[in-house]
Amino acid sequence: TMATYLEFIQQNEERDGVRFSWNVWPSSRLEATRMVVPLACLLTPLKERPDLPPVQYEPVLCSRPTCKAILNPLCQVDYRAKLWACNFCFQRNQFPPAYAGISEVNQPAELMPQFSTIEYMIQRGAQSPLIFLYVVDTCLEEDDLQALKESLQMSLSLLPPDALVGLITFGRMVQVHELSCEGISKSYVFRGTKDLTAKQIQDMLGLSKTAMPMQQARPAQPQEHPFASSRFLQPVHKIDMNLTDLLGELQRDPWPVTQGKRPLRSTGVALSIAVGLLEGTFPNTGARIMLFTGGPPTQGPGMVVGDELKVPIRSWHDIEKDNARFMKKATKHYEMLANRAATNGHCIDIYACALDQTGLLEMKCCTNLTGGHMVMGDSFNTSLFKQTFQRIFSKDFNGDFRMAFGATLDVKTSRELKIAGAIGPCVSLNVKGPCVSENELGVGGTSQWKICGLDSTSTLGIYFEVVNQHNAPVPQGGRGAIQFVTQYQHASTQRRVRVTTIARNWADAQSQLRHIEAAFDQEAAAVLMARLGVFRAESEEGPDVLRWLDRQLIRLFMFHLRRSPFLQVFNNSPDESSYYRHHFARQDLTQSLIMIQPILYSYSFHGPPEPVLLDSSSILADRILLMDTFFQIVIYLGETIAQWRKAGYQDMPEYENFKHLLQAPLDDAQEILQARFPMPRYINTEHGGSQARFLLSKVNPSQTHNNLYAWGQIPANTFITEFQETGAPILTDDVSLQVFMDHLKKLAVSSAS
């Protein structure tokens, strides 16, 4: 049965984009609670389905106002009476007139079992163009600014011609550029220190004024082409020359920066104006604010650090000591902006390229609540940024952007289940209902979430609660159902609705425990638990979370998760932690697993490349290792290999096989680099290289300097030969997996007794 469940899980994932922790459900609350791992799933709402063209009509809804579930293959249908029964609320519904011709042999697609996931195209309503608002920091070094300008100019050629684009630049002041004007370039300038309300911003940009006479003239259609009036957001095809020139002429912030000071960077006000501008011009329309910044906000609302260079930006240490002066206020500012953007369906991307921190910790909610991208790099003048940025505009099999906007995810459940919450790039829409649980896991208290920006890999963890009482058993063969309804604006600007309806069997945990166990999805469970852990780590204190996780032990994965940057802040800046957590909370299962437990491949003359344990014992002199941590791709040459390369064997015709051996991991790395978003940091290193630390910090320290010495004073000159057979010791005080497991076993036994 193991093989069949694996297949079942895989098929379901491919068809519906769903992975459940349990694929047979314990039929009562009590039993479910005993299972420790909650009933939950990873949902990739817009999983790429080239084989699933959207149907050109609208979904049929259950007529019960509190239900409104969508007709699906699980519904009972009376073809003669043209009635269907809702499988969630059991309401009997009349088919609409257009369905008059249906019969057992002439079923509409949404009733066929293979269309448990189906996509509808909505024809109603005005289509709005894609909107991109660039918010550009000009307090950059000359090289960086030049590289960024070129990337932005390049991006114009990638946008669809009718996409609207806008430009805001900031430094000490914030400039909103008018793009429509000929001749003199014109911008509206705002003080970088003054917080303005949405209304003030709109008044100052003259947005409210132009809207008024239009409404007076045509009260019936105030919404008709509202974007025609905005001088700040113009179709690319109209202004691409203009904007290319404007970007080309962009200068570094001209205000003098004295020695020992940081440039005055008004990121908080710039974002506030960007949010206000879109709020005033395109509410409830998909739009993308793209913030490019090269340093921390240093003035005005949202400032993260003062301009005195002698005062460093906050560290985890400062935060623990409650010594981060600006953190709370800044976080509040960005949260307010993120929530406003989310309300309007706008997403915010942050591209932060600097050697020091840029305030991602404070600004993270902007991306996390709106489904925007967060990209962190050292410089805009790196391939990491350039290629990552280019990848934003990559196209799918249909030639459409891999991005969707303004989605709402609506979840409906059978009566035995309630919704506990969701973890992912979303905000609650606060829709209460009968299927909403009082116990929250993640963002709860609602059955609907807004996801302002998403793509084919955006994945949410959704947590449920079994509410069926133990004394009211589900009848034999009963199934529970969940429907996920995702309404969104497709990159082609159409409104679409994707509906996924799934069902799983109920089982009695006492009599059918084996079934339940067999249908347990260890990988999904690990990721779902890890998401819960990271969610808690974001909102609670560190050690408590670790203790909680330890209690929820899941073998191997949790050992690595415990050491991962998602939970450990040691050696990471607050910005880095925010960055890692951001990506962990949105990637799909496969990528999440890589993040939790990096993959290590070993290349040698002994055979084809093979996956090896992420353990120090895998570091051998005659191997090349390729490690993928999601954020980093590390190629590590063992000592002997490195020596051979140094000797130049790869250039000798008689050692061509060595050349191939060197090349193989490079090719594999390229393959990963091509597909990954964001571009990982690519590290090519060798035994003894300083960058080898990226590998050494990840592997399980089965051999450390501690236990090596303990094995008995091996003379220094025999060290090296010893390692070639047994791997490399790691200079760390971290415990190894073995120690961890021993400790866990001890704990398990003691708590049981």
Say whether residue 170 binds another protein (CB under 8 A). no
Whole-angstrom Cα distance, residue 70 to residue 110? 9
Candidate segments 42-50, 112-120, 188-196, 493-501, binder of another protein by CB under 8 A: 188-196
**Interface with another protein (CB under 8 A), residue from 125, 183, 475, 712:** 183
Report helix angle 207-217 to 267-281, nearest 10: 0
- Written as six digits, the tokens of 222 are 């105030």
Say whether residue 206 binds another protein (CB under 8 A). yes
Candidate segments 186-194, 450-458, 539-547, 743-751, binder of another protein by CB under 8 A: 186-194
Applying CB under 8 A, the site for another protein has a residue count of: 19
What is the nearest approach in angstroms of another protein to the Cβ of residue 257?
12
SS3 686: strand
Please give the torsion angle defined by the CA atoms of residues 574, 578, 581 and 582, in that order, rounded to the nearest 10 degrees. Answer: -170
Task: Report the largest interatomic distance among the alpha carbons of the chain, rounded to a whole angstrom.
Answer: 92
Angle at 55 between CA 402 and CA 47, to 5 degrees: 35
Interface pattern 581-600 for another protein (x via CB under 8 A):
--------------------
Quick one: 242 or 387, whose CB is closer to another protein?
Answer: 242
Token pair 């993260």: residue: 304
Quick one: 200 or 382, whose CB is closer to another protein?
Answer: 200
Query: Which residues ranging from 80 to 99 are in contact with another protein (CB under 8 A)?
Result: none
| C-alpha 246: how far from chain center | 33
Candidate segments 182-190, 288-296, 319-327, 548-556, binder of another protein by CB under 8 A: 182-190
Query: Which residues ranging from 221 to 280 are in contact with another protein (CB under 8 A)?
Result: 254-256
Say whether residue 385 binds another protein (CB under 8 A). no
41, with CB counted inside 10 A (0-12, 13-18, 19+), is buried
Quick one: 191 or 340, whose CB is closer to another protein?
Answer: 191
Phi first, then psi, for residue 4 (nearest 5°) are: -65, -40
What is the nearest approach in angstroms of another protein to the Cβ of residue 15?
54
Say whether residue 186 binds another protein (CB under 8 A). yes
Whole-angstrom Cα distance, residue 235 to residue 245? 16
**Interface with another protein (CB under 8 A), residue from 2, 3, 100, 184:** 184
Quick one: 206 or 609, whose CB is closer to another protein?
Answer: 206
What is the nearest approach in angstroms of another protein to the Cβ of residue 187?
5
What one-character-per-residue DSSP string does 273-335 give? HHHHHHHHH-TTS-EEEEEEESS---SSTT--S-SBTTSPPP-HHHHHTT--TTHHHHHHHHH
Residues sharing a CB contact under 8 Å with residue 47, sequence separation 6 or more, in sequence order: 16, 17, 456, 457
- Written as six digits, the tokens of 728 are 């490399």
Whole-angstrom Cα distance, residue 727 to residue 738? 16
Say whether residue 675 binds another protein (CB under 8 A). no
Candidate segments 200-208, 325-333, 478-486, 558-566, binder of another protein by CB under 8 A: 200-208
| C-alpha 732: how far from chain center | 31
Say whether residue 175 binds another protein (CB under 8 A). yes
What is the nearest approach in angstroms of another protein to the Cβ of residue 305?
23
**Interface with another protein (CB under 8 A), residue from 28, 44, 187, 597:** 187
What is the nearest approach in angstroms of another protein to the Cβ of residue 542?
43
Whole-angstrom Cα distance, residue 196 to residue 215? 25
Say whether residue 191 binds another protein (CB under 8 A). yes
Quick one: 189 or 748, whose CB is closer to another protein?
Answer: 189
Quick one: 185 or 657, whose CB is closer to another protein?
Answer: 185
Quick one: 109 or 241, whose CB is closer to another protein?
Answer: 241
Q: Is 226 left (phi over 0), alpha (psi -120 to 50) or beta?
A: alpha
**Interface with another protein (CB under 8 A), residue from 190, 484, 559, 636:** 190
CA distance from start to end of the chain: 34
Tell me which residues touch another protein (CB under 8 A). Answer: 173, 175, 183-191, 194, 203-206, 254-256
